[in-house]
Amino acid sequence: MSRDSQAGAASAGDHTVTVTHPEGTARLSVPDGTVLRDALLAAGLSPHSRAGRRLNCGGRGLCATCGVRLEGDGEGEDANAPAPDHWHDGLAARFGYPRLSCQVRVTGDMAVEIPEKLVWGGRESDAE
Ligand code: FES
């Protein structure tokens, strides 16, 4: 996996994941079948809030702290987001909540937004 600034290592089986996050936009080259959460973490673009980085289920689909918005999600036949195949991710898609990045595999080019995370009613800054 690589960010645009490190491009050149992409192979034929890679897909482009465009990530919009609170600090800007990044384009990642991601091997086919990679779990989206793993790709984001490898690129230093955590889908978790600051607290969620320490307190999460490790990608088991239980904590819902890894939510991201997928472009085209919930748009019926026009959808370009992968269909959910995990019960918790399916509920998120059905009710319009962010999808669980740990339950989404990258199987094509996609656009992802990492939303600002709210923790216990307060807006959290990424400042450490
Ligand atoms: S990391 Fe817990 S639901 Fe995704």
Helix (H) or strand (E) holding 92, with range, is helix 87-95
Answer yes or no: is the C-beta of 79 below 6 A from any ligand 1 atom. Answer: no
Q: Is 49 helix (H, G, I), strand (E, B) or coil?
A: coil
The pTM (predicted TM-score) of the whole model is 0.80
Q: Token digits for 90?
A: 């399916």
* C-alpha span between 35 and 103 (Å, rounded): 7
What is residue 44's predicted lDDT score, i.e. its pLDDT?
A: 94
Please identify, by atom number, the ligand 1 atom nearest to the C-alpha of residue 61.
3
Minimum CA distance residue for ligand 1 atom 1: 59
- Gap from CA of 8 to ligand 1 centroid (Å): 31
Local confidence pLDDT in tens for the 128 residues of the chain: 656 544 445 677 899 999 999 889 999 999 999 999 999 999 999 999 888 888 899 999 999 899 999 987 765 554 567 888 888 888 888 888 899 999 999 999 999 999 887 664 444 554 44
What is residue 4's predicted lDDT score, i.e. its pLDDT?
A: 54
What is residue 103's predicted lDDT score, i.e. its pLDDT?
A: 94
Helix (H) or strand (E) holding 128, with range, is none
Question: Is residue 45 within 8 Å of 126, Cβ to Cβ?
Answer: no
β-strand partners of 74:
none
Q: Which fold has domain 2-117?
A: Ubiquitin-like (UB roll) (3.10.20)
Answer yes or no: is the C-beta of 86 below 6 A from any ligand 1 atom. Answer: no
